[in-house]
Structure 1
Amino acid sequence: MRDLLNRGANPDAVDTNGLPVLCVAVATYGVQVAEALVESGADPDRVLPDGTTPLERAIDSGSPAVFSAVLSKGCPAKAGGAAATRTSGLLWQPAVMPAELREHAGRHYAIQFHYALPDDAWTVELSEAVPAPTAWAENPSTERYRPGAAYLVAFVPDEDPDLEPTVHIHSHDEHVIPYEIMCWFMEQVADQVERCRIAFEQDGREAAE
């Protein structure tokens, strides 16, 4: 995608259904594609035929990584009405996006959980944490770091027991992940898999009764 954009491809191009490619990237959780499009000038506040915008769709995706990618070069003040309110809430209220943080060798990492409705699955996202907005410092109980753009995303289905959990790599750059951090991430994924399997078993017993 970056090569195409560098060769002059239109970042606001639409698909055969008239949907901007940025919205397609959001719908498919294409974090790096969305980031590249916005950095090349795609408009996250473009009003679509249904009245939504790519930014609003990124919020609705439930993925902090997708949201951060669409907002990477944007300004939340541009979004009008409900979008501005919702974007402000995501940025300035860390409790909305709880994350587990860990420091290793002087670097900070974050694991973020959220539910992806389009996939009927829980996702576990690993990212290198970034400094929190200065406004958060007004509350001494908030963290000094927040999740960055995720480069490892595990999908753990919770509706269909026949679907296997999968891990997706979302990065166009090389990332060196320390062994300890990778173990921490996989432990979190395994715990989420176990929680979903227990829920499957409980649902099966209730259905049998």
Structure 2
Amino acid sequence: MIILGLTGSIGMGKSTTAAMFIDRGIPVHDADRAVHMLYENEAVVPIEAAFPGTTLSGHVDRALLGKALQNDPRGFPRLEAIVHPLVRAKEAAFLRQHRDAGAKLVVLDIPLLFETGAEDRVDAVVVATCALEIQRQRVLSRPGMTEEKFALILARQMPDSDKRARADFLIDTGLGLEAARRQVDDLVERLLARAVG
């Protein structure tokens, strides 16, 4: 089974690219979605202990947590120490399930793949990318996004140029949906051929 890591900086089209793999019938483990689920379950108690006042009605309130981290960015490693092992456990269960089912190719959608050293857990990495001006336009059009928030997010992410240099494959999402879909289709065909061969 080939494990393909998918990553890309904010606004680069990573989630749209992940959906294209799903459309092709390729199982995708979405680390962000796993975090959302953990914020409703296993992560609530340890996050409240580490960041008092950031949970409401039995779930982590992302806005309150975000504010706490904005006020003290040194909290990021503390949060990661809680969340990353829980996400890794979900990922391991996903891989077991699909290996047992005989899948030839799976995708791990990991936003901070290079930043967290996750490339060691995959066979190859594909990076979703686009021109900087397209990225900026996409991100700043999101509800509640500000220049300050965008700068804070970018500061925690490896520059896109570095990600592209370290990638095994690229999906350029700046050329439109159909062009991106063709690139995904081509990559799936190549990797499935490699898995069979």
**TM class by shorter-chain length?**
under 0.3
In the superposition, the TM-score normalised over structure 2's length comes to: 0.26
Specify which structure has the bigger relative contact order, considering alpha-carbon pairs within 8 angstroms and separated by 6 or more residues.
2
In the superposition, the TM-score normalised over structure 1's length comes to: 0.25
Structure with more of its chain in helix, by fraction? 2
